[in-house]
C-alpha cells in the first residue's frame, strides 16, 4: 500500500456529534497550524443546529495558499459512530483513518488501501478524569494531542494556546494539557512511524489573519458609523448583529457614562426589522439589518419603499441553502436574482459580492457610503461559508482620515441659498440622484412626505402616467451612475489569445483560482474575471465578448448569475456554459476542474464532428 505523503498540503476531516464540545478542540487544532505559519482554512459542516446530529469539521492545509475546498480527505478523525462507515469510505486511497478504539471496528471494515489507527479516546479519558462533565470535552482534546504527534506538530503551540485560553482560570488549563499529553503519548507509543503527513513551521502566512466574514461585516458597520440596527434572528445572519454589538461596546463607549452609542432593536419579524432601518435612515442615521435567504422575500414590501422613496438602506444577506424549511446550516449563492430585483417589480438593487473577510469589512464600510450617495438599498451578498467559517485573509485596514460620504444632503444654509424651488425628487445634476434633507434641518424649508412611486418631483402625490414614467427613467439614470461608484471586477488575462474564460464571484473564488492553476500547469492558461458588484460594468461585457466560451461558476441550481448577465447585458446564452454546485457544501477545486475538463472535451468532440465549438 502506498501511503499519502505530504508536508503542509493535505485535508483533515473531523467527524463529530453536534453539541459534544468538539468545536473548541477542532478550532484549537486549526489555529495551531495557523500559528505555525502554515496557511489553513477550517470549515464547519453541520447539517442542523439540533444537538446530537452529525457534524464535520474539515481543515484544508496548503502551503501555497489554495484554501478553498479541494475535494477528498487525506486523514479522517472519526469519533461519531453514526457516520463511521461513511467517514471510512470517504477517505482517499493511501489515507489515514483514526477512530476511537474503545470499541472495535465492524467486521465489514475491510479496506486494505488505507492506514487504520485505533486510539481508545474514551477509555483514556475515563481512566484519567473523574469528572463526567469534563470527560466529553477532554476526549476531543485527546485526539488533538494524538494528531500533534502523528503530524509532527510543535506541541508547545498547543499548550501555549490552552494556557492563554485559561489564563484567568489556570486550574482549567491543567486537565486540558493533560488530555493533550495522553493523546500524544499514546500515538507515540503505538504509531511512531505510521503517518507520512506532517506540519512543518513556515512563514507562508505572513501577516495574514484568521477571521469569519460575519465578524468582519459587523466591524465594518462600526467603522462606517452605523448607529442603528433593526434585526430579527435567523441563521446564519444573527452573528452579524452580534458582532456589531460586540465591537460597538469595545470601540464606541462614552467615557463619561459607559454607554455605547448604538441602538440595536430586535423586531418581531424581518419586515418590521427593515422598517426600523428605513425609519432611522430617513431621519439621518446610518442603519442596517441582516438576514438570510427567506428574509429577502419577507422584506420585499419595505425594500420597494426604500427604492422608490430613495432612502439609503444597508442590507446584509448571509445566503444559505433552501428556504426557511430547507437547510439553514448549509451554504449556497442562491439569492442573486431575488436580491437584484427584490420587491414587486421594476426595481433594481445594488449588490456587493465579497470573497473573503477583508472584503466583507471593506464592502460593509463602503455600503453605507454607497447607500447615502445613491439614496438606495445596498445589499451585501455573503453566504454561510464566508460568514460563519474562519478564513485566512490580509489584515484589515482603515484610513483614519477617511470621511463619510453622506451624499447630496442640504443644510440649513443650502436651503436658504437656493435660487429655485427645491424638489426632493428633482434631478438637477443629470446623474439621476436628487438632493435630500434631514428632518428638522430648517424651520420652514426642506420638509417633505416620503411615499412610493406615486409622487412627482416635489414629493406631491400624483398618478399622472407621464410623471411616473419620468421618475422611472430617472431611476435608470441613477442606475448607470451606480456603475461608476461600485467595486470593479478583478480581471486576470493569463493568455489574451486564449478563447476560454471563467467568471465567478464570492466564495467560489478560492477553489476557482486553484482549478485555474491546475490548468496552467497543463499548458491551458484560462483568463478569469471575478465579479464584485451588480450592476455589471462595461469591463464584464468586454471580457465576455473577447472570448469564445465563458464558464460561469456559481453555487446555485438555476445559474442565476448567468441569467442576470443575459437579462442585463443581452449576452448570448450559447456563449456562457454553467458550472453549478448546489449540494449545500462549499464548492471544491476538484469539482470545478472536472466540470471544465468534461465541457472542453465535449466541445472538442463537436469540433471534430464539424458542429462548432471553441477550439
What is the residue-wise DSSP string for 318-333? EE-BSSTTSBTTS---
Alpha helices for 355-456 (secondary structure H): 357-374, 384-388, 412-417
CATH T-level topology, domain 490-608:
Rossmann fold (3.40.50)
Residue 612 in this model has a pLDDT that exceeds 50: no
Region 55-74: mean pLDDT is 97
75 contact partners, CB below 8 Å, separation of at least 6: 10, 11, 12, 13, 91, 95, 96, 97, 98, 195, 197
Q: Which of 536, 546, 545 is CA-nearest to residue 505?
A: 536
Q: What is the pLDDT of residue 615?
A: 36
Instruction: Kindly report which listed range (104-118, 214-228, 286-300) carries the lowest average pLDDT score.
Output: 286-300
Q: Which of 341, 340, 344 is CA-nearest to residue 452?
A: 344
221 contact partners, CB below 8 Å, separation of at least 6: 229, 244, 288, 314, 364, 365, 368
Residue 501, strand partner residues:
527, 550
Q: What is the pLDDT of residue 227?
A: 97
CB-based contact 504:553 (threshold 8 Å): yes
For 443-450, the CB contacts below 8 A with 24+ separation are 445/415, 445/416, 445/418, 446/410, 446/415, 446/422, 448/424, 450/282, 450/309, 450/311
DSSP, res 408? S
Residue 383 in this model has a pLDDT that exceeds 90: yes
Can you give the pTM of this predicted structure?
Answer: 0.96
Q: What is the helix (H) or strand (E) element at residue 99, kind and residue range?
A: strand 91-100
The angle subtended at Cα 309 by Cα 306 and Cα 311, nearest 5°, is 50
The angle subtended at Cα 253 by Cα 248 and Cα 258, nearest 5°, is 130
Considering only CA atoms, give the Rg of the chain: 27
CB-based contact 237:320 (threshold 8 Å): no
Residue 610 in this model has a pLDDT that exceeds 50: no
CB-based contact 216:357 (threshold 8 Å): yes
Residue 605 in this model has a pLDDT that exceeds 80: no
Alpha-carbon gap, residue 464 to 482, rounded angstroms: 27
The CATH number corresponding to 6-198 among 1.10.150.120, 3.20.20.70, 3.40.50.2300, 3.40.920.10 equals 3.40.920.10
Please confirm whether the linkage preceding 409 is cis (ω < 30° from 0): no
Alpha-carbon gap, residue 507 to 513, rounded angstroms: 11
DSSP, res 260? B
Q: 132-150 and 22-35 helices cross at what angle (nearest 10)?
A: 30
The secondary structure of the chain in percent helix, strand, coil, rounded to multiples of 5, reads: 40, 20, 40
**Three cell numbers at 381?**
451578498
Residue 319, strand partner residues:
383
**Three cell numbers at 298?**
419577507
Q: What is the pLDDT of residue 345?
A: 84
Residue ranges of domains in the chain:
6-198, 210-393, 408-474, 490-608
Region 196-221: mean pLDDT is 98
Alpha-carbon gap, residue 273 to 314, rounded angstroms: 12
pLDDT band at 294 (very low <50, low <70, confident <90, very high): confident
Q: What is the pLDDT of residue 335?
A: 95
Residue 96, strand partner residues:
75, 115
Residue 73, strand partner residues:
91
Sheet of strand 313-319: strand arrangement: 263-266, 228-231, 287-291, 313-319, 377-383, 350-352, 533-534
* Mean pLDDT computed over every residue of the chain: 94
Q: Is 429 exposed, middle or buried (0-12, 13-18, 19+ CB in 10 A)?
A: exposed
Most confident of 257-266, 299-308, 362-371, 594-603: 362-371
Residue 609 in this model has a pLDDT that exceeds 60: no
CB-based contact 337:343 (threshold 8 Å): no
In 10 A of CB 473, how many CB atoms? Answer: 10
CATH number of 210-393: 3.40.50.970
Alpha-carbon gap, residue 42 to 44, rounded angstroms: 7
pLDDT band at 323 (very low <50, low <70, confident <90, very high): low
Do 490-608 and 210-393 fall under one CATH topology?
Answer: yes
Residue 606 in this model has a pLDDT that exceeds 50: no
Residue 614 in this model has a pLDDT that exceeds 70: no
Residue 608 in this model has a pLDDT that exceeds 60: no
Counting every residue written for the chain, the total comes to 615
pLDDT digits (tens, 9 = 90+) for 446-505: 998 888 888 999 999 999 999 999 999 999 999 999 999 999 999 999 999 999 999 999
Share of the chain above pLDDT 90, in %: 86
Amino acid at each position: 500500500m502506498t501511503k499519502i505523503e505530504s508536508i503542509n498540503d493535505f485535508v483533515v476531516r473531523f467527524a463529530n456529534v453536534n453539541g459534544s464540545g468538539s468545536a473548541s478542540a477542532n478550532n484549537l487544532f486549526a489555529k495551531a497550524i495557523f500559528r505555525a505559519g502554515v496557511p489553513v482554512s477550517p470549515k464547519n459542516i453541520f447539517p442542523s443546529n439540533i444537538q446530537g446530529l452529525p457534524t464535520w469539521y474539515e481543515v484544508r492545509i496548503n502551503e501555497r495558499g489554495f484554501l478553498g475546498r479541494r475535494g477528498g480527505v487525506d486523514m479522517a478523525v472519526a469519533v461519531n459512530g453514526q457516520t463511521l462507515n461513511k467517514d471510512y469510505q470517504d477517505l482517499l486511497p493511501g489515507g489515514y483513518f483514526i477512530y476511537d478504539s474503545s470499541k472495535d471496528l465492524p467486521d465489514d471494515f475491510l479496506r486494505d488501501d488505507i492506514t487504520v489507527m485505533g486510539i481508545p479516546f474514551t477509555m483514556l479519558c475515563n481512566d484519567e478524569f473523574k469528572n463526567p462533565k469534563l470527560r466529553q470535552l477532554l476526549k476531543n482534546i485527546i485526539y488533538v494531542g494524538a494528531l500533534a504527534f502523528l503530524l509532527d506538530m510543535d506541541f508547545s503551540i498547543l499548550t501555549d494556546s490552552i494556557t492563554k485560553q485559561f489564563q484567568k482560570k489556570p486550574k482549567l488549563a491543567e486537565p486540558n494539557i493533560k488530555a493533550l499529553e495522553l493523546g500524544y503519548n499514546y500515538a507515540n507509543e503505538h504509531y511512531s512511524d505510521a503517518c507520512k503527513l506532517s506540519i512543518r513551521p513556515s512563514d507562508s502566512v505572513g501577516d495574514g489573519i484568521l477571521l469569519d466574514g460575519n465578524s468582519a461585516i459587523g466591524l465594518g458597520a462600526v467603522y462606517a458609523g452605523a448607529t442603528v440596527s433593526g434585526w430579527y434572528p435567523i441563521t446564519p445572519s444573527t452573528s452579524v448583529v452580534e458582532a456589531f454589538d460586540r465591537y460597538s461596546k469595545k470601540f464606541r463607549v462614552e467615557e463619561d457614562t459607559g454607554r455605547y452609542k448604538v441602538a440595536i432593536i430586535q423586531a418581531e419579524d424581518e419586515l418590521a426589522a427593515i422598517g426600523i432601518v428605513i425609519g432611522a435612515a430617513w431621519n439621518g442615521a446610518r442603519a442596517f439589518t441582516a438576514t438570510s435567504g427567506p428574509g429577502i422575500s419577507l422584506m420585499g414590501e419595505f425594500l420597494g419603499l426604500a427604492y422608490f422613496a430613495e432612502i439609503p438602506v444597508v442590507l446584509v444577506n448571509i445566503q444559505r441553502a433552501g428556504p426557511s424549511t430547507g437547510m439553514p446550516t448549509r451554504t449556497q449563492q442562491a439569492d442573486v436574482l431575488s436580491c437584484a430585483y427584490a420587491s414587486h417589480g421594476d426595481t433594481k438593487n445594488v449588490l456587493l459580492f465579497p470573497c473573503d473577510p477583508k472584503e466583507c469589512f471593506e464592502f460593509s464600510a463602503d455600503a453605507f457610503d454607497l447607500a447615502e450617495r445613491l439614496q438606495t438599498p445596498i445589499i451585501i451578498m455573503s453566504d454561510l461559508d464566508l460568514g460563519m467559517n474562519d478564513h485566512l485573509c490580509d489584515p484589515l485596514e482603515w484610513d483614519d482620515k477617511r470621511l463619510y460620504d453622506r451624499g447630496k444632503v442640504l443644510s440649513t444654509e443650502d436651503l436658504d441659498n437656493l435660487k429655485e424651488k427645491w424638489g426632493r425628487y428633482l434631478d438637477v445634476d443629470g446623474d439621476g440622484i436628487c438632493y435630500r434633507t434631514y428632518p428638522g434641518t430648517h424651520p420652514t424649508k426642506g420638509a417633505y412626505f416620503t411615499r412610493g412611486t406615486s409622487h412627482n418631483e416635489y414629493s406631491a402625490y400624483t398618478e399622472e402616467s407621464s410623471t411616473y414614467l419620468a421618475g422611472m427613467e430617472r431611476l435608470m439614470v441613477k442606475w448607470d451612475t451606480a456603475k461608476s461608484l461600485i467595486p470593479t471586477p478583478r480581471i486576470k488575462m493569463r493568455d489574451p489569445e486564449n478563447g476560454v474564460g471563467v467568471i465567478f464571484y464570492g466564495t467560489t473564488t478560492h477553489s476557482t483560482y486553484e482549478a485555474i492553476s491546475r490548468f496552467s500547469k497543463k499548458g491551458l492558461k484560462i483568463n478569469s474575471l471575478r465579479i464584485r458588484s451588480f450592476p455589471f460594468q462595461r469591463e464584464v461585457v468586454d471580457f465576455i465578448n473577447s472570448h469564445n466560451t465563458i464558464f460561469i461558476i456559481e453555487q446555485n441550481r438555476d445559474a442565476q448569475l448567468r441569467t442576470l448577465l443575459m437579462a442585463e447585458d443581452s449576452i448570448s446564452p450559447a456563449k456562457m456554459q454553467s458550472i453549478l454546485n448546489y449540494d449545500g457544501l462549499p464548492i471544491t477545486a476538484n469539482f470545478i476542474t472536472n466540470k471544465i475538463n468534461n465541457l472542453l472535451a465535449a466541445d472538442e468532440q463537436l469540433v471534430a464532428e464539424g458542429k462548432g465549438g471553441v477550439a
